[in-house]
Homo-oligomer: A and B are copies of this chain.
Amino acid sequence: MEGQAKPTRRSKVTGLQDAARLARGALEERPELCLGGLFKQSRPVALVRALLAAGADGLHVYSSPGAGYDVDLMIAAGAVAQVFIPGVTLENRLCPNFRRAVEAGQVTAHALDALTVVGGLMASAHGVPFQPIDALRGSDVLKHNPLLHEIDCPFSGRRIHAVGPIRPRVTFLHAQEADRWGNLRHLSTMVYADQLMARASDMVIASVDRIVPDEVVLDDPSRVTVPSNYVDAVVEVPYGAHPTASFPNYAMDEEHIDAYADLGDAARTGDSTGLDAYITRHLTEPKNQSDYIEAVGGTGYFAVLEAEARNE
């Protein structure tokens, strides 16, 4: 082999736009997109914006059982056909575009529960044809949930529920760190369903606050939350979860989300100029994440969120 070009290990580090194009192509085959994090923490918002800029539409959106800003933004941008998320809320208020679009019949919001979503991801990750569920009773959600089936339990003889595999075509995750091979390190305490989604999905694309040297991973393998085997591409994106949080690095930007929700509510009740301007400013105009950071308020603005994450 001397003198021959020896093959080398391929890095999975990718640019934001390339990652978005990769995702868009896959989602054109099958529109199931799944988002990591929960509510206002560790949501892959920069990847979502890049995907919207790349022109995705007709998406079926999944998530850990609770989502808010990002799904609402995707609906505002007209990219979503169906929502398979049990809870869609900004927590302190409703999601304005979600509400508007569902009330107008433009988006189908399925009635689901957490166990169906988690159980479906479990079945997919475990490679089995279904996951039994035996903890759902009395809710009207059971009459409408499109993923849930009643089966005769061969062990107990009772009627129980079961859900087939949920296999997202693409999952977007946000973690704090990764090495160039795509081994992800969530440094936040809460990791939610990110690991499960990674194992349940066809393609995984992750944004991270920073790429770290190989030795950081090798010196503490227990800290790796998602092994690179599950990860197709990793993108270093400063403040890539904004306006949601990436603890311990920066906190959620409640004021940004609240201002967005005000614009969404205005649009819902007839005045969409503010929301249109918001989308132009944050989604259409920025060519890259640096532009976005400037549009939001520059790095000085983010220092406040960083300080908040350090409890200062």
Contact = CB atoms under 8 A, between A and B. Distances in A.
How many copies of this chain sit in the oligomeric assembly? 2
For A129, A134, A189, the residue with the greatest tally of chain B CB atoms inside 10 Å of its CB is A129
A154 interface: yes
For A128, A131, A132, A133, the residue with the greatest tally of chain B CB atoms inside 10 Å of its CB is A128
Contact of A128 (B129, B134, B149, B154): B134
Interface in A111-142: 127-135
Interface string A142-173: 00000001011111101010101000000000
B127 A130 contact: no
A151 B128 CA distance: 13
A307 B182 CA distance: 33
Interface residues of A, number: 25
Given A189-B221, A221-B189, A222-B189, A129 B151 contact: no
B130 A153 contact: yes
A154 B130 CA distance: 9
Given A128-B160, A129-B158, 20 more contacts: A127-B134, A128-B131, A128-B133, A128-B134, A129-B132, A129-B134, A129-B160, A130-B132, A130-B153, A130-B154, A132-B132, A149-B154, A149-B155, A151-B154, A152-B154, A154-B162, A155-B162, A189-B221, A191-B222, A222-B223
